[in-house]
Amino acid sequence: MSSKPVVGIDLGGTKIHAGVVAPGGEILGEARLPTEPDREADAILGNMVAAVRQAMEQAGLGTDAVEQVGLGSPAPLDIKAGVLISPNNLPSLYGFPVVERLSEALELPVTLDNDANCLGLGEARFGAGKGAEVCCGLTLGTGMGAFMVIGGRIYGGPHGAGVEIWCSPCQGDWIEEKVSGRGISRTYAKVSDRRADAREVAALAREGDETALETWREFGRNAAVPVAWLSNAGDPDVFVLGGSIARAWDLFGETLVHEARKYINEVTRNVVRILPAELGDAAGMLGAAALVLPPDPED
């Protein structure tokens, strides 16, 4: 863990967000660059390095001013080996030793975890879950991720696959197929006979389109299932919903909370706060940085 500023990198399928972060969570400099997922692995690595250089330049710092790098990446990962196994949206990085190669390029030690865990750690440390003994949550986007942060530390399990509930069964399918952008598009197509992505369905709902509104209510009912699972397993103080889909909290949040509380055990139900994330698209980068920041003394 570092007492100096650190670098956090949120590696996504569309963009790379790098930031230089002070121990208290202040962003000293940041940069966003396209990932270019269709290019070869070395080109994506070069984009990560370029994003870090730009963030450090904005912060007015040289490489000797930071000690460590935290990296959040799409799963599945072999965290101990520092390898990306088969991230769906980054096919050229299958089997890529990202920790070794990035560490060599930056001449800094690199710590890896999956992007959902990093979002969760960011929210637990600096956002909606700040001060919670246990913070659980979901990341909602193209797919669905989950996280559990206990005492300020990610619960990853002995093999790095803790809380990977996306492939759990629900109504004859994986829960991710219900609780994701894909799920919203499929539900809307079923009720309207029209195709639209989650952003378009949100816009229609806010215009008063009843089929779009019902699509989001159905999403809230579906999302209540993994919220109840994790709440019953982890007994959290705070449950956080993050990711791009969580921006539509106004459309599904009330339904989700109402439905989830039906299935959360009485002890946890009386104390858990179910909230949207606070940090926006900075959560993943800040959580990646928190992988290598010293523990919060309040945790």
Which pLDDT does position 203 carry in this prediction?
98
Domain limits, the chain: 6-119+282-290, 131-278
Which pLDDT does position 2 carry in this prediction?
59
Segment 45-71 mean pLDDT: 95
Token pair 């709440």 is found at 231
Q: What is the CATH number of domain 131-278?
A: 3.30.420.40
Q: Does domain 6-119+282-290 have CATH number 3.30.420.40?
A: yes
Per-residue pLDDT tens digits for 148-176 = 999 999 999 988 889 999 999 998 999 99
Which residue type sits at 15?
K
- Mean confidence (pLDDT) of the chain: 94
Which pLDDT does position 13 carry in this prediction?
87
Band of the pLDDT at 64, cuts 50, 70, 90?
Answer: confident
Q: How many residues would you count in the chain?
A: 299
Which pLDDT does position 25 carry in this prediction?
93
Per-residue pLDDT tens digits for 178-221 = 999 999 999 999 999 999 999 999 999 999 999 999 999 999 99
Segment 118-147 mean pLDDT: 95
Which of 185, 188, 255 is closest to 227 using CA atoms? 255
pLDDT reading at 299 higher than 60:
no
Which pLDDT does position 75 carry in this prediction?
87
Cα–Cα distance list, 295 to 80, 127, 129, 151, 255 (Å): 21, 15, 15, 9, 35
Burial group, residue 195, by CB count within 10 angstroms (0-12, 13-18, 19+): exposed
Segment 14-38 mean pLDDT: 96
For residue 47, the surrounding DSSP H or E stretch is helix 41-59
Band of the pLDDT at 3, cuts 50, 70, 90?
Answer: confident
Segment 273-296 mean pLDDT: 94
Q: Coil, helix or strand for 65?
A: helix
In percent, how much of the chain has pLDDT > 70?
98
Band of the pLDDT at 263, cuts 50, 70, 90?
Answer: very high
Which pLDDT does position 298 carry in this prediction?
57
Instruction: Evaluate whether 6-119+282-290 and 131-278 have a shared fold.
Output: yes
Band of the pLDDT at 1, cuts 50, 70, 90?
Answer: low
In percent, how much of the chain has pLDDT > 90?
89
